[in-house]
Structures are given as structure tokens and as C-alpha cells.
Structure 1
Amino acid sequence: MTGKAMEQTARSQALVLLEQAHIQLSESEKASLDVIDFGLGDIGRYGVQLIEYVNNDRYCARQLVFLPYQTIPEHMHPPVGEDPGKVETFRVVWGSVLAYTEQGEQSGQRSARLAEEDEAYFHARHEIPLEAGEQCTIGGNQFHWFQAGERGAVVIEFSSPARDRFDRFRDPRVVRETGAAGSGKEQP
């Protein structure tokens, strides 16, 4: 399957999950749904689909859609100028997500599924299982990552301003400024 075909499949699946979650979107919001693969070329494993409702110098709100077992690679939002790093709250509205942070007790085991060749890029092991109606807040300048459960997930993100181009990823293969088909948009 080509990059364009994978992107279209992920977009279609994300719209189905949004409908199952009873998220009402305008046609322009549906059209703005961005498919992000972090430059890794495996959207089923690593990626997220998102709609950015607002991102200004005071706050950001985004709708995130995860396909089943889809993972956002481990990353952090470092300080930028006077900003101590993006603080974000993730609230699951449908499905389930495993959040992993460096803050809190670090377990030797985890429930998330990772390919053996990718283990070296996932260090945060404080596991926070989130079901619909649950949320967690992650402070700035802290490595963290997410993986959806078997049905996927729909999540709303509320945060301080997103400055995605400054994010740091553990995996050096991650490319920050393209979606699955090279959209040129920034990624979460």
C-alpha cells in the first residue's frame, strides 16, 4: 500500500472512530483531520490522527484519534524561552489508552505492545491506564508516550501552547515536520 493509500485508510478509520465516539465535526474540521506517521512509515504502529481546534500563545485544544494499538513515540516538550515546556491534559472520550511517563513509580513491566527492535526508544515506564471519562496531566520537560487499546481511542487534549517543532523524541528516526504523505504540517 502506498503512503497516500495508507493515509486515506487511516483517515477513514479515524472518522469512523470519531462517529462511534459521537464527536460532532463540521465538514471543514473533517477535512482538516491530519494523519501523522512521525516519518516512520508505519501508520498502523506509530502515528496519530488529529484535528487542531485552536493553538495560540495562551492555550491549545486538539482532538486525537488513535487506531487500535497505535502509538505516539516517546517524546518531551522542552522549555522554549520563558516557557517551561508544554503541559498537557489528555482526556479519553472513547476507547482506552495507556499513558507512560517518567514521573511516578517506574515498573519493570508494561502492558503496551512494542516491537523488539523499538524497545530502546521507550524508557518511561510509569503506566497510567485510561478509559473513557478518565484523564491524566503531563508536565513539561518530561518524556512520555501513549498507546491505544484494542479498539483504538478518541482523546481530547487541552494544553499550554503547542510548539511541536521543538519536541524531542528518543527515536532518532522520527521526522517532525511531515504527516504520512508529507503534508508539511507540524506533528504533536
Structure 2
Amino acid sequence: MAAGISLEEAREQALVLLEKANVALSEEDKAHLKVVDYGLKDIARYGVQFVEYINNERYCARQLALLPLQTIPEHMHPPVGDDPGKLETFRVVWGKVRVHTEFQEIELHAGEQYTIGGNVYHGFQAGEAGAVVIEFSSPARDRFDVFSNPQVQLKQE
């Protein structure tokens, strides 16, 4: 999976990873797989592909596929109104992921999980083979995320 790939190629590679991880997706799930490059125009290096199973006022569940060495840029989920910021648990289904927060850096392997509280800077990088992760969280309000890299552009929900 080389640098300089298109968003469609990232999508196809993500579907391959999800299949390797034995994640059963409906045709509707596959059609709604989101590809995010954070406006950095280098999806092989910075981005994420995911299926959002549910996102409502109570909770969110997403299936993430990260290409080999693909990075989700450092960001945080600040308080929004009475919400103290998105609380999220990441469980690795396949592959490995390096998680860094402003407090620590750890490597997660299949079957391991980590929870990050709201208002904490964090980021992720997949291992050399890529990774498939399931995220369980409080409601996702991506448009409010704050990134440490000012070049990151996240489309509105």
C-alpha cells in the first residue's frame, strides 16, 4: 500500500483489511464507508476509513480500518455545552495500533483496548500491516474536534 493513493484506493484497501479481520459488513455498510484525509491530501499517511454503526445523543459505535502506518492526527474532543468531551474506548480487532496521549504512549494488539477521556489530546498510528479497531464512545461531534496541527481540515457533519 504505497503513498500517493487515491481516496477510492484507500476505501478498497480498507475493505480488504475489514475482510481480513472477519468483520461482517452489509452492502449498505460498505456503501457508507467513510474515507477521511483530514484535508492533508496524503491518505496513505494521514487518515482513517470507518463505518459508523450508530451515532445518536447517547452513544456512538464505529468500525475503523487503518492502512499500514496510517495515522489519525493528534486531536482532542473538547467540552460541548454540558458534555465534558467525548469519552471513547478503542478495541483492536486485528493488527496493532500505537496510541499516544498527552500522558503516555502504548501499543495495542488484537483483543486489547484503551479508554480515552474527553478533553485529552490523543492520536493513533496503525502497525505495518494496518489495523482494524472498533470504537465505542459517547456521541461523536467531530466538527468540534481540536487538532494540534493547524493544517487539518475536517468537513462539517
Higher-Rg member (1/2): 1
User: 1:57-136 alignment to 2 at 5 Å?
Assistant: 57-103=57-103, 126-136=104-114
User: 1:4-19 alignment to 2 at 5 Å?
Assistant: 6-19=6-19
Which one of the candidate residues 135, 138, 141 is aligned to 1:163? 141
Letter in 2 for 1:44: A
Partner of 1:181: none
1:10-44 C-alpha deviation (Å, 9 max, x unpaired) = 01100000000000000000000011100000000
Letter in 2 for 1:173: Q
Q: Pairwise CA RMSD of aligned residues?
A: 0.9
Task: Show structure 1 runs of 4+ deviating over 3 A.
Answer: none
Distance (whole Å) between structure 1 residues aligned to residue 17 and residue 148 of structure 2: 29
Aligned residues: 153
Shift of 1:140: 0.2
Shift of 1:49: 0.2
Q: Residue 152 in 1 paired to residue 136 in 2?
A: no
SS in 2 for 1:24: coil
Q: Residue 35 in 1 paired to residue 13 in 2?
A: no
Q: Residue 56 in 1 paired to residue 43 in 2?
A: no
Unaligned runs of 5+ in 2: none
Distance (whole Å) between structure 1 residues aligned to residue 109 and residue 135 of structure 2: 15
Distance (whole Å) between structure 1 residues aligned to residue 10 and residue 119 of structure 2: 30
Distance (whole Å) between structure 2 residues aligned to residue 161 and residue 12 of structure 1: 27
Letter in 2 for 1:26: S
Shift of 1:128: 1.1
Distance (whole Å) between structure 2 residues aligned to residue 128 and residue 161 of structure 1: 25
SS in 1 for 2:6: helix
Distance (whole Å) between structure 2 residues aligned to residue 172 and residue 45 of structure 1: 17
SS in 2 for 1:43: coil
Unaligned runs of 5+ in 1: 104-125, 178-184
| TM-score, structure 1 normalization | 0.80
